[in-house]
């Protein structure tokens, strides 16, 4: 399937990025409560979080916006052995994402799903290559697969995945969720990795009030997550636009989103 894909993006739970706040000169620094923990961020900090989650580090090459195309039904298949509650968490999170983005996200038991969520006994087994037969469906070569696994090890990831795009449209993804950590960690893995495959693949700095932050304790979408997803799937935020253009659009639509929220 990868031969038909123009680009690929790696979302890793532990992937770090520098938090550099940007804003328009002279912009008013209004604040928003963005999590159940009471964290308050300025609008500039919200915009910066979106910029990092969608585009990654400032020096990343070829930074264009990726997201799933509107009107496409996205099919998700869950495989592997897990407690029923873990699968319920997946179903609930998919429903929340569908409500926020307007995407038609459907679960399926059939083959050929766009997204595979693979429960595995431990993430160490992924790193050891025991699930290469699954990962190989989402990479071009064995060298690319080994590069991904090396990156997971270096980042000390506890869960991770791979998402591919055709042009600037998300097309397919796989997420590995280990079942051996404590349930809150599993829940946080589901929240982070399943959210990332919608088009926010890069990790936010530790301590950011988001499921996408490094070592995030959040198992449910925070207000910051909701705002970023609403920006990503706003009609004016088109797939394929550059980082600079996305910054302009994000700055213009954020007040509307905050007012509606």
What is the per-residue pLDDT across 209-255, written as a single tens digit (0 to 9) for each?
A: 999 999 899 999 999 999 999 999 999 999 999 999 999 999 999 99
d(CA 252, CA 107): 34
Is 64 within 8 Å of 241 (Cβ atoms)? yes
For the chain, domains (ranges, CATH) are 2-260 (3.40.390.10)
Mean pLDDT, all residues of the chain:
86
Model confidence, pTM: 0.85
| Phi and psi at residue 7, to the nearest 5° | -140, 160
């Amino acid at each position: 399937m990868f031969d038909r894909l123009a680009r690929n993006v790696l979302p890793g739970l532990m992937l770090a990025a520098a938090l550099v706040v940007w804003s328009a000169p002279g912009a008013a620094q209004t604040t928003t409560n963005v999590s159940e923990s009471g964290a308050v961020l300025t609008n500039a900090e919200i915009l910066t979080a979106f910029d990092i989650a969608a585009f990654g580090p400032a020096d990343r090459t070829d930074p264009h916006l990726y997201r799933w195309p509107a009107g496409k039904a996205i099919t998700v298949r869950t495989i592997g052995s897990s407690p029923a509650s873990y699968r319920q968490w997946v179903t609930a999170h998919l429903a929340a994402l569908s409500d926020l983005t307007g995407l038609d996200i459907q679960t399926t038991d059939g083959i050929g799903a766009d997204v595979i969520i693979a429960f595995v006994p431990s993430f160490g087994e992924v790193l050891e290559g025991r699930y290469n037969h699954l990962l190989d469906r989402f990479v071009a070569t064995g060298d690319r697969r080994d590069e991904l696994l090396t990156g997971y090890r270096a980042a000390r990831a506890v869960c991770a995945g791979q998402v591919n795009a055709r042009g600037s449209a998300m097309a397919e993804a796989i997420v590995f969720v280990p079942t051996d950590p404590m349930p809150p960690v599993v829940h946080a893995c589901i929240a982070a990795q399943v959210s990332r495959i919608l088009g926010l693949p890069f990790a936010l700095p530790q301590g950011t009030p988001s499921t996408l932050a490094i070592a995030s304790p959040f198992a449910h979408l925070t207000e910051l997550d909701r705002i970023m997803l609403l920006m990503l799937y706003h009609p004016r935020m088109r797939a394929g636009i550059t980082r600079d253009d996305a910054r302009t659009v994000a700055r213009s639509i954020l007040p509307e989103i905050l007012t509606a929220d």
